[in-house]
Amino acid sequence: MSDPLKDIMRKAGDDQLKENERERWNKNMDEADSLAEDDEDLTPSELRHDRYRRKQEFASRLGPTSERLPIMSAEEIAQKQKDRPKRREIKFEGPIEKLIEKYKDPKEVFNHLSIGQLMKYHLDEETGCIYEGEKLVFDGQHLV
C-alpha cells in the first residue's frame, strides 16, 4: 500500500491499519532499543533517560519530517492567493444619503453599506425603496 493511501486511511480512522502500524513501530523500536548497549556505570534514572532518548531518536527517524512537507514556490503561492475567492470588504463609506448620490442604484448602495447601516436600513427588492424602520428614505428615484 502506498504511503499517501496509508495517510488517508489513517486520517479516515481505519483501526486495523492504525493497530498494524503501531505494532510495527513498537517492534522496530524494541529491536533498536535491544541492540543498544546500556552502560553499567549509569544509575537507574540515567538508564531510563538514555532509553527515552534512544526512543525519541528512533521516533524522529520514523515519524513525519519537515522534508516530507510540501514546499511551494513563490509562483505557486501567488497563484493560490489569486484563485482564492475575494471577500467583500465591509466598511463605513459615509451616510446613506452620500451613498445614494454616489451609486444611484439601491442594490449597489446596499453592497456598500457598513454592518451597522445594514442593521438599520432594509431594501424592498420589488420597488427599490430603502426604509429606515418604517420611514421611507429613498423611493427608488429620489431621496426623501
CA distance 28 to 111: 62
Residue 63 and residue 69 in contact, taking contact as beta carbons nearer than 8 Å: no
Q: Which of 110, 113, 106, 112 is nearest to 144 (CA)?
A: 106
**pLDDT for res 120:** 92
Q: What is the pLDDT of residues 9-42, one digit of tens each?
A: 666 665 676 677 778 777 777 776 666 666 778 8
**pLDDT for res 1:** 63
Average pLDDT over residues 121-133: 89
Give me the residue label for grid cell 444611484.
Answer: 104
CA distance 25 to 143: 75
**pLDDT for res 139:** 82
Residue 99 and residue 114 in contact, taking contact as beta carbons nearer than 8 Å: no
Q: What is the pLDDT of residues 56-114, one digit of tens each?
A: 777 676 666 555 466 778 898 899 889 888 887 788 888 999 998 998 888 888 888 89
**pLDDT tier for residue 51 given thresholds of 50, 70 and 90:** confident
